[in-house]
Amino acid sequence: MKLEENSQFGFMLDQSKCVGCRTCSLSCKDYKNMPVGVNFRRVFETEGGNWTCKEDGSFEQSVFAYYTSISCNHCSNPSCLKACPTGATMKIKWGIVAIDDSMCIGCKACATACPYGAPQFNHESGHMSKCDGCYERLKEGKNPICVDSCPFRALKAGDITKLREEHGNLASITPLPDASITHPNLCIVPEKHSLPSGNKSAIFHLPQNYQGVKNDII
């Protein structure tokens, strides 16, 4: 994958292909050698529908579930950047939102401001940390590790303009916030049951409630 000098980096997620296996999340954690509790890429499960008993005793159902793999969206209007009191959070080449450890004081203001939960506190370093798009791989013309590790090819990365031309510009999907807040450089190919942001007819499970995360395994 080659990015032009003035490209804006972004991600594409195809929810119709994502099965919630979390290979993307685990490969990211392994590649970045993150401590327990820090996960740059997370997977949400959204479910809804019900079973209805009919008069003849039979049942009909409208049950559904879909998955949303999410990391930092390297937003065009990043709330984390505006909230940082020291200037440690900044836009670098290809519009990637990055954190300069030498300037970060670990105040967590960026984490509080981000509606996607991208910045996370690293207890080992005492600094905030987040997805940088695998910047060192991008410079070599490679994909982020999460993209290459997905067994179902549900993720793509690259110039967001080209990704949107190919896959559309939808990014406001439950459980994510409305895209108008920070203008994420993300496009989503919805699964047939995907719901718009703000829809309360379904429930979603937080990534930290997965057993491995809850028990401090990952």
Structural domain tally of the chain? 1
**42, 63, 99, 138, 217 from 210: Cα distances, Å:** 10, 21, 27, 30, 10
Residue 215 lies in a domain: no
Residue 169 lies in a domain: yes
Residue 111 lies in a domain: yes
Residue 85 lies in a domain: yes
CATH number at residue 150: 3.30.70.20
List the domain range (segments joined by +) for residue 41: 9-206
Residue 216 lies in a domain: no
pTM over 0.75? The answer is yes
User: What's the mean pLDDT when you consider all of the chain?
Assistant: 93
Residue 56 lies in a domain: yes
User: Which range (42-51, 85-94, 172-181) has the least confidence?
Assistant: 42-51
Residue 211 lies in a domain: no
Mean pLDDT of 128-135: 98
The residue count of the chain comes to 218
